[in-house]
Amino acid sequence: MTDDGPICTATAEVVAWLAGTVGDTVPVGPPRPDAEPSRLTLWPLEIRPARQTRGSGSGPEPYRFTVRYLLAAGGPESLATLDRVLVAASAAADGRTLVLEAGDPALWAAFGTPPRPAVLIDVPVQVTHPARPAAPVLRPLRLRQLEMVSFDGRVVGPAEQPLAAMRVEVVGQPYATQTDPAGRFRVVGVPHDPERPAPVRLRLTGRGQVLTAEVDPTEPDIVIVCAPPTP
């Protein structure tokens, strides 16, 4: 088999496992009336659905199914070989499952051969979605370290009245503080890119209000005016 698809790969693995178990090659083909009495034959019988699972990763989950194979004895001389397969399969823990339900007369009638000792082997198979390749890097990577800045400010109401006990937090970051009795606050350790300066967004909570304000961390005197809520 030259195809490396999931079914062909599973079949090749079963053939290799059987060869190692019985010490001889097991041909892939349907059971025939003129089969060699001393040999087993393997035939992919059907494809059966399997339970799909969902993971927590970001990529798509593999598609899972089961390939069912018919392993049939050619005659009485191959029963000892079939015994070795049964013993090996019962001790294996590789996902293969033996099913002792190969005695359906309609199955053997479809093959045009009398019923004979056989087992079904269920092999789990999955189709893995190829990972998307990463986008090529077209420019040299440039790494730079952001500065961490600290700044002071005041929160006032109408007529420059200081607002104390106002909670001040940086939106998107865990940092938070409160204004003192003079309405002053200090924010420490905010990332700042001097090449691409951007305002810092603050959320202020207190006095029955939740307000947001954008401030320039490089400004020497930051004043945030909180107007009373409109009745």
Q: How large is the average pLDDT for residues 107-131? A: 86
Residue pointed to by tokens 């202020």: 204
Residue pointed to by tokens 């207190």: 206
Q: What pLDDT digit, counting tens, does each position of 208-226 carry?
A: 888 899 999 888 889 999 8
pLDDT level of residue 231 (50, 70, 90 thresholds): low
Checking if the pLDDT of 228 tops 80, the result is: no
| CA dist., res. 15 & res. 121, Å (int) | 12
Tell me what pLDDT residue 127 has.
Answer: 84
What is the chain's mean pLDDT, rounded?
85
CB-CB neighbours of 180 under 10 Å: 14
Q: What pLDDT digit, counting tens, does each position of 4-62 carry?
A: 788 888 899 889 989 888 888 899 999 988 888 888 999 999 988 888 776 655 567 78
Residue 188 dihedral angles phi and psi, to the nearest 5°: -120, 135
Tell me what pLDDT residue 135 has.
Answer: 78
User: What predicted TM-score, i.e. pTM, was given to this entire model?
Assistant: 0.53
| CA dist., res. 221 & res. 158, Å (int) | 18
Domains of the chain: 6-52+61-127 (3.30.2000), 147-225 (2.60.40.1120)
Q: What pLDDT digit, counting tens, does each position of 149-190 carry?
A: 899 999 998 888 999 999 999 988 887 899 999 999 999 988
Tell me what pLDDT residue 176 has.
Answer: 87
The CA-to-CA distance between both ends of the chain, in Å, stands at: 81
| CA dist., res. 174 & res. 57, Å (int) | 26
Q: How large is the average pLDDT for residues 127-138? A: 76
